[in-house]
Amino acid sequence: MFIKEIIIKEIKENITTSKFLFLAGGVIVLFMLNAMVSLSDYQERLENYQSIRRAEQKAQKEQCEQFSNVVFHKLRVVKRPSAESFITHAKADKLPNGVKMDFFEISNPQYFKPLDIYSKSFISLDWTNILFYLISFLCLSLSYNALSGEKINRTLQLVLSNQVPRASVITGKFTGLFTLIMIPILIGMIIHIIIYQLSPEIAIEKTRPFIALFFTGMLLFVALNLLTGLLISSLTKQPMVSLSLCLIVWLVFAVVIPGTGWLWSKQMVEIQSVHSIKVRIARKSQELLKMNQYSLKSKSSWKGKAPTEGLLKRIHYKQKEQEIMNRLWHRRIQKQFQQTDHAIEFAKISPYAVFRFFGETISDNGYSGHKHFYHQVQNFHSTYKDFLRNRDQKYEDSYHKFWNESWMAPHWMSSKPINYEALPKFTYERPNFSETLRKAKGNILYLLLWCMVLFAGTFIAFVRYDVR
Amino acid sequence: MRHFKTILTHEFQNQIKSFKFTLVLAITLMVTVFCVYIQVQDFADRKEQYNQQIERKQDMLQRARVFSEFGIPIVIKPNPLSIFAKGYEEKLGNEITISWRNLPEFSRFDFMRKSKDTVGSNEKNPYLNIFTEFDVTRIVIIILSILTVFVAAPAISGERENKTLQLLYTNPVGRVEFFLAKYLGNLITLSIPLVFVFVSAAAMVALQPFIQVEPDFFLRVLLMMIGCLLFISVFTLLALIISTATSSSSRSLTYGLLVWMLLVFVYPNALQYTVEKNMEIPSLSRLEKKKSELYDAFAQAKDKFYQNHPLNKDRSYTIHKGGQFFTTFIGVTQKYVFKHKRKELKALLPELFEMQNKLMRAVDRYRSKLTQRQKLVDQLSLPLPNHLLEQTGTKLANTNRYARDIDIRNQARRFRGQVLDYIRSKDGFGYKFFTQTEPIHMTNDMEDYPDKYFQLSYYRKDYPRLDLQDRPKFTYKEPFQFPVEIFFLIGLNLLLIVLGSHLFSGSKVI
């Protein structure tokens, strides 16, 4: 009842305001700019990725002349840039994008891209940021006086003196504003998709399900902002007070909490320094050495012959030492992940941060993408090792011993060539739709919960409002 | 100006008694205490890492047995003022190794170093780069500025809305007088949370037992606070100008917030983004290529030397040609080999230094190109009050690029000269580069050495260490850079005062 009228009134009242026109125009222009910039940016990053891949393939092929060379070859493994980075860039430029690996170890994550250490951190242009800063601001600036404005003008008294149910007022106002705000967003998104559709480099059909998923979260995010404004508006009598409160809520939830999560996590998760890890490795290595006393006589004649007892002891020692090194360095990276995860969990107190990381999960970019990549690299490393081990079993000139001393160990490995095509190749697989949905489900539910709580809060506050 | 004091007092009292002032004060204090507390904890971690680095440095110095092993790492102490303005404090590294082999550069640009920086070798968790740094200046730039708009935007429009402005003009009050009194009243009100921010932050920093503040710490903090006050003053004036031009307080607040968003978020980010997307980062590959060329040239010079001065393998028991630069033997060798190595060092050391100079020049050229982007962004941000405040803060905290990068490297370069002179004065490029056995005690045959010489061989830990007590000591002299940006901020304030007064004089009462 009356809902339709309230919706139309709300749209008509706001659509011609300079505030709406200015911000809506800005949103559309930013969406268009984002489409153009992210396209060229993606092409550039793809070229960089492909050139590294080509160089790596060439380098690996050259090593294939001898099996032992492949074992010691430092393979560069790089993450393919995300085609959905227009959803969120997620500061991917500031994060490592690859690793080096050989049979024995995976290096710490590295930057295989030009890195500008002098550049300042900035908010990049992408869908998430447009919504995060501009749309949230637009939502709050339209909704803050939706009820308190009517209270002060006494028009609310007039409306309620007719037999308009309060639920209809709230629903009507919310739907009206929601529809209004969706206009520039939809126009912007459609223009973006058309620009992408026209580009031959992007397979937009693969991206569509992710866009749809992001759209769901975006609807909730817009609703959440509007409901925040409406709740504050229904709790206050003066538009000035409701605007001030909206401002403070925005400041705390959009700026302070998402920006300070890392400060907490640094206190919660301690990461061992590089020096202390090195000291620990050295100490463990000494202990191992004591347990595996050996002596080697450095004569050229013993190289390549059946390993002596002393050499076997050394190999055993070196393999154990490598295991310790791998374990400790791996643990350090896990701690870094843990620290970052804690920071994200803290930031997620704010639904704004939830939306931001939701965008990151969908675009498979930034930290979320990197973590996924690193896990794939670990799996690939096991496959790579198993393959080389199996292949080594087939070589008759090999003593089937692997240890990380490039100046010595190849003498006991096969010097025969290996077929490059047979070597396992790393191809980064971004999480498919169902996997992404599984990851993003929690964020969607969390946003939904916020919306429901805010709607219930707004409804109760408005029902309790004494119109006299 | 008869009513100036009355209006000012009235405005100040009104604001200070208002609920929004309490809210502003509470929010600012809460955010400051929270952020500074955690930054202080973070500082404690950095200090701990620094102490470990110092231990390592001592260990490295004590381990040197010959001058080829001699190197002094310069470790830059964490700066407590970085809690106020972080700048480049943690971005560029804090260790430079000074030796005959290394370039006096942070490890990222020390192209004489074998292993390059990886994430693992950096103490900072790289994944935390996805979050924003929150220092005191940033709190002022983002939070206090928005709260300034929140307090000052309705100051004139509110009076217009309540019709008190009309009432006021029935008295003989000058418009400029009114505007200035309003401005000062608001500024004094807003300076209270600002003073709270700085006093609480300075106290939290200075009272920590693990932080030793320099004597000029409080002076620098005071200057930073003055910079912040000027910054807040700019936003107060902007809010008042908007308030002058609007008829309702909520409208002036909305426009004020739009201007805030434009100045604090949109313009700086759009500028950085546009410049970064349009100016490519210079590729490191050219620098890497230059390095390989220089290394190859050195290898050729070395080959040429060995062709002209072949090493008789039958007479060289302990030494062979290998090694990238100079192979050292530390323990004992035949007199013949020693003479040969000394000749090699004498011939090739100037070549090595020449190569290092060329490499340093190439690095400088690369760095100059790399910094072009940020320089352009800084130039285009010059009229922005937040940029001016950032510059003021980082200059005073010595965390800007000049102090944290250029000046340290210059000091390191000068210190390297002293270290090389010291090595020369100790005959460190003579026999002590290789061994501690004096040439007169060297024999032509290894078998002629007494047994005690072999007991002190390379792998023995008891080989005597060099006495380096009189080595040159590096003391990092922090520069004092007066922030000229303060004058820009003053200029901006004056301009806005004139503009605001003019606009207000011509504005409607109703």
- Asked if residue B165 and residue B35 are part of one domain, the reply reads yes
Best of A262, A265, A275, A336 to substitute, by most chain B Cβ atoms within 10 angstroms, is A262
Three-state DSSP class for residue A393: helix
* A29 contacts chain B (CB < 8 A): no
Residues 6 or more apart whose CB falls under 8 angstroms from that of B259 comprise B149, B238, B242
The answer to whether the CB atoms of B134 and A263 lie below 8 A apart is yes
Residues B185-242: tens digit of each pLDDT: 999 999 999 999 999 999 999 999 988 888 899 999 999 999 999 999 999 999 999 9
Three-point CA angle B137, B139, B143, nearest 5°: 135
Within a domain: residue B469?
no
DSSP string, A226-250: HHHHHHHHHH-S-HHHHHHHHHHHH
| 3-state SS, residue A342 | helix
Amino acid identity at B38 = I
Are residues B51 and B35 located together in one domain of the fold?
A: no
Percent of chain A with pLDDT over 70: 97
Q: Do the beta carbons of residue A88 and residue A130 sit within 8 Å?
A: no
Scanning the structure block, which residue is given the tokens 């960089």?
A48
Residue with tokens 């640009």: B109
Are B72 and B99 in contact by the 8 Å Cβ rule? The answer is yes
Band (A411; pLDDT cuts 50, 70, 90): confident
Give the tokens for residue A252.
């705390």
Sort A35 into a burial class: Cβ within 10 Å, 0-12 / 13-18 / 19+.
buried
The residue whose two tokens read 């820009």 is B488
Burial (0-12, 13-18, 19+ Cβ within 10 Å), B61: middle
Distances (CA, A) of B123 to A107, A333, A342, B93: 16, 12, 18, 9
Provide the domain limits for residue B40: 4-46+132-276+496-506
Question: What does the pLDDT average to over A239-262?
Answer: 82
Contact in structure between B259 and B240 (CB atoms under 8 Å): no
User: What would the mean pLDDT of B420-439 be, rounded to a whole number?
Assistant: 88
Residue A114 has pLDDT above 80, yes or no: no
Q: Give the position of tokens 């009235």.
A: B10
Q: Which residues in A lie closer than 8 A to residue B34 (C-beta atoms)?
A: 260, 263
Q: Within this chain, do residues B52 and B41 fall inside the same structural domain, yes or no? A: no
Residue B319: pLDDT band with limits 50, 70, 90: very low
| Same domain membership, residue B231 and residue B136 | yes
Token pair for residue B222?
Answer: 């005071």
Question: Are B233 and B252 found together in one domain?
Answer: yes
B31: chain A residues, CB-CB within 8 Å? 256
For the segment A32-61, the average pLDDT, to the nearest whole number, is 89
Interatomic CA distance for residues B34 and B53, integer angstroms: 29
Task: Specify the pLDDT at position A110.
Answer: 87
| pLDDT higher than threshold 80 for residue B318 | no
- Which residue(s) pair with B49 in the sheet? none
Nearest CA in chain A to B36: A263
Q: Tokens in use for A107?
A: 């290096």
Domain-located, residue B465: no
Mean pLDDT of chain A: 87
- Evaluate whether B397 touches B85 at the Cβ level (below 8 Å): yes
* Average pLDDT of span A232-244: 84
- pLDDT tens for A319-378 read 999 999 999 999 999 999 999 999 999 999 999 999 999 999 999 988 999 999 999 999
Give B42's contacts in chain A (Cβ within 8 Å): 263, 266
Place of tokens 């992940």: A337
Q: Quick check: B131 and A343 CB within 8 A?
A: yes
Q: Are B245 and B259 in contact (CB under 8 A)?
A: no
Residue B457 has pLDDT above 70, yes or no: no
pLDDT classification of B95: cutoffs 50, 70, 90: confident
Tell me whether residue B238 is exposed, middle or buried, using C-beta atoms within 10 angstroms of its C-beta: 0 to 12, 13 to 18, 19 or more: buried
Phi, psi of B79 (to 5 degrees): -100, 115
More confident: A42 or A380? A380
Alpha-carbon separation of residue B239 from A369, A404, B500 (angstroms): 42, 67, 10
In a domain, B241, yes or no: yes
Lowest mean pLDDT among B47-51, B115-119, B411-415: B115-119
Q: Judge: B265–A256 Cβ closer than 8 Å, yes or no.
A: no
B326 and B377 in a single domain? The answer is: yes
CB B483 within 8 A of CB B223: yes
Out of B27, B56, B281, name the one closest to residue A114 (CB): B281
If asked whether residues B253 and B193 sit together in one domain, one would say: yes
Residues B70 and B105 in one domain: yes
For testing contact with chain B, the best of A89, A91, A243, A345 (most B CBs within 10 A): A243
CA distances from B146 to A116, A174, B28, B35, B238 (A): 31, 27, 11, 18, 12
Q: Is the domain of B337 the same as that of B226?
A: no
CA angle A379, A55, A395 (to 5 degrees): 60
Domain range for residue A145? 3-464
Query: Which residues between 398 and 457 in chain A have a beta carbon less than 8 angstroms from any beta carbon of chain B?
Result: none
Residues A73-80, mean pLDDT to the nearest whole number: 92
- Amino acid B147: pLDDT: 84
Whether chain B has a CB inside 8 Å of the CB on A281: the answer is no
- Cβ within 8 Å, pair B270-A125: yes
B125 touches A at CB < 8 Å? yes
Q: What average pLDDT does this structure show over B5-14?
A: 87
User: Which helix (H) or strand (E) covers residue B341, if one does?
Assistant: helix B335-380
Cβ burial B131-160 (10 Å sphere, 16+ → b, else e): bebbbbbbbbbbbbbbbbbbbbbbbbbbbb
Local confidence band at B116 (pLDDT 50, 70, 90 cut-offs): very low
One-letter identity of residue A332: R
Residue B92 lies in a domain: yes
CB pairs under 8 A between A and B: 172
ipTM: 0.85
Distant-in-sequence, close-in-space partners of A86: CB < 8 Å, separation ≥ 6: A34, A35, A38, A42, A126, A127, A192, A196, A363
Please give the residue of chain A at the shortest CA–CA distance from B400: A118
Question: In this predicted model, which residue has the larger pLDDT, A356 or A90?
Answer: A356
Does residue A129 register a pLDDT over 50? Answer: yes
pLDDT at position B249 is 81
Residue B479 belongs to a domain: no
Query: Which residues, listed in sequence order, are joined to residue B97 by a DSSP beta bridge?
Result: B73
Output A378-381 pairs: Cβ under 8 A, ≥24 positions apart.
Answer: A378/A106, A380/A77, A380/A424, A380/A426, A381/A101, A381/A106
- Using a CB-CB cut-off of 8 Å, the residues of chain A touching B56 are 275
**Residue A300 pLDDT exceeds 70:** no
**Among residues of chain A, what percentage have pLDDT more than 90?**
40
Are residues B454 and B318 in contact, defined by beta-carbon separation less than 8 angstroms?
Answer: no
How many Å apart are CA B81 and CA B206, to the nearest integer? 10
- B265/A contact by beta carbon, under 8 A: yes
For residues B422 and A429, what is the distance between their CA atoms, to the nearest angstrom? 57
Count of other CB atoms within 10 angstroms of residue B277 = 15
pLDDT at position A456, please? 94
* Total number of domains in chain A: 1
Which residue on chain B is closest to A273 by alpha carbon?
B123
The verdict on A264 touching B (C-beta cutoff 8 Å) is yes
Q: Are residues B51 and B26 in the same domain?
A: no
pLDDT tens digit string along B269-306? 888 888 888 888 888 888 888 988 998 998 888 888 88
Tell me if A392 sits within 8 A of A400, measured CB to CB.
yes
* Pairwise CB contact (< 8 Å): A336 & B127: yes
Contact residues, chain A, for B45 at CB < 8 Å: 266
Cβ B436 vs Cβ B331: under 8 Å: no
- How many structural domains comprise chain B? 2
Give Cα A137 to chain centroid, integer Å: 24
pLDDT digits (tens, 9 = 90+) for A139-178: 888 888 888 777 777 777 777 777 778 888 888 989 999 9
Question: What Rg value do the Cα atoms of chain B yield, rounded?
Answer: 32
Q: Which residues on A lie below 8 Å from B323 (Cβ)?
A: none
Q: What is the DSSP string of B46-101?
A: HHHHHHHHHHHHHHHHHH--SGGG-EEEEEPPPPGGGGT--TTTTTS-SEEEEESS
Quick check: A22 and B52 CB within 8 A?
A: no
Q: What is the mean pLDDT of chain B?
A: 85
Cβ contact, residue pair B119, A41, below 8 Å:
no
| Pairing mode, strands B95-99 and A98-101 | unpaired
Residues B108 and B209 in one domain: no
Q: Is A260 on the interface with B (CB under 8 A)?
A: yes
Cβ neighbours, 10 Å, residue B186: 28
**Arithmetic mean of pLDDT, B99-122:** 68
Nearest to A188 by CA among A273, A131, A145, A235: A131
* Together in a domain, B229 and B330: no
